[in-house]
Structure 1
Amino acid sequence: MGENEVAVAEGVRLPQPRPDVVGAVVLNAEGRAFVQLRDADRRLFPNTWDVVSGHVEDDETPVAALAREVAEETGWRLRRIVRNLGSYRWPEQDGVEQTSVYFVVEVDGDLSRPVLEWDKHSRYAWVGTEDLDMLLENCTPDDTLIRDVVARALDVHRQPGGSAEQNSTSG
């Protein structure tokens, strides 16, 4: 999927320079965010909750990487980038610092039937504000990134012009 097929909402700032990692928060019509549990055998952040995310390859733009990750991790198609949730710097477990950027996105596909990469994620959930503490399971005390990103995305849904009502549930 090329980035020319992905709409970017007016006012959304795309990251410069290119980040190492991009992440997508998908909100459903009820304003709940899609998360998936990383498999216990993963090298980085095993058995912790995550949003759709992954590394930007050398030959990719952030938008192309986001579209690829959404398709690979859920089977859905990235339609529109709604909001930039911010950039974050974090050290990988091997000590190399990474920059990640997260977005609220709209997708096409059946939101009730994500196609997970079962060798990387053992389950998924749709979470609301009442579930945010669940996202801290198996995290170190100072690792609140995914919880914080999802909380920001849920706030977007409550603001005028939030994106969830536009996510497709066809299929």
Structure 2
Amino acid sequence: MAEPGVAVAPERPRPDVVGAVVLNGEGRAFVQLRGPDRRLYPNTWDVVSGHVEDGETPVEALAREVAEETGWRLRRIVRDLGRFHWPDNDGVKVTGAYFLIEVDGDLSRPVLEWDKHSRYTWAGTEDLESLRENCAPDDTLIRDVVARALQVHRQPGGSTEQNSTSG
């Protein structure tokens, strides 16, 4: 059962990876730069994301990744942003489920995993193409996920009531 206030994400088929877009009060998306020593996608922009571990539901994995990568707490899932597929280094298809979420915590002070991410920023529509920095020519995943979240936010009734501090 999900925590109070946290919408239940679709569980089947179970994704391999979950990811989240967090928007601040200005409607900008939190992104973090993967470190240069990362085995997969070094020096590329990413949203909060990670693998669903054995025995975890996608919502549990999402909450864990948000806490580990930012220090924030998952408040609720606002919208399902879709499923995306890509091959891993071994050519096996990976499925990622991405969500627009709200969190509790101080958005001005994310607690990054500095050994995995070298910096962060808040990206708007004007920054979308820069999210492809150091990506392969056909790798548009993070740009596409952030663009979808920003589009949802601009739709009537799509804005989040994101707090800048916990309350």
Match of 2:123 among 109, 121, 127: 127
1:109-142, Cα deviation, whole Å (9 max, x unpaired): 0000000000000000000000001101000000
Identity %: 74
User: Secondary structure, in 3 states, of the residue corresponding to 1:116?
Assistant: coil
- The alignment of Structure 1 onto Structure 2 pairs a total of residues equal to 166
- Identify the residue that residue 143 of structure 2 maps to in structure 1: 147
- Identify the residue that residue 163 of structure 2 maps to in structure 1: 168
Tell me by how many angstroms 1:4 deviates: 2.2
Q: In 2, are the aligned partners of 1:105 and 1:163 still within 8 Å (CA)?
A: no
1:69-124, Cα deviation, whole Å (9 max, x unpaired): 00000000000001001001100122221100000000000000000000000000
Q: In 2, are the aligned partners of 1:102 and 1:149 still within 8 Å (CA)?
A: yes
The two structures have a TM-score, normalised by structure 2, of 0.95
CA distance in 2, matches of 1:48, 1:58: 27
Task: Show the 5 A alignment for 1:12-161.
Answer: 14-161=10-157
Q: In 1, are the aligned partners of 2:6 and 2:77 still within 8 Å (CA)?
A: yes
Tell me by how many angstroms 1:15 deviates: 4.1
Rate the CA distance shift 1:61–1:88 in 2: closer, same or farther, 3 A: same
1:47-81, Cα deviation, whole Å (9 max, x unpaired): 10000000000110000000000000000000000
User: Secondary structure, in 3 states, of the residue corresponding to 1:151?
Assistant: helix
User: Secondary structure, in 3 states, of the residue corresponding to 2:130?
Assistant: helix
Instruction: Give ranges in structure 2 of 5+ residues lacking alignment.
Output: none
Q: In 2, are the aligned partners of 1:31 and 1:157 still within 8 Å (CA)?
A: yes
The two structures have a TM-score, normalised by structure 1, of 0.93
RMSD: 1.4
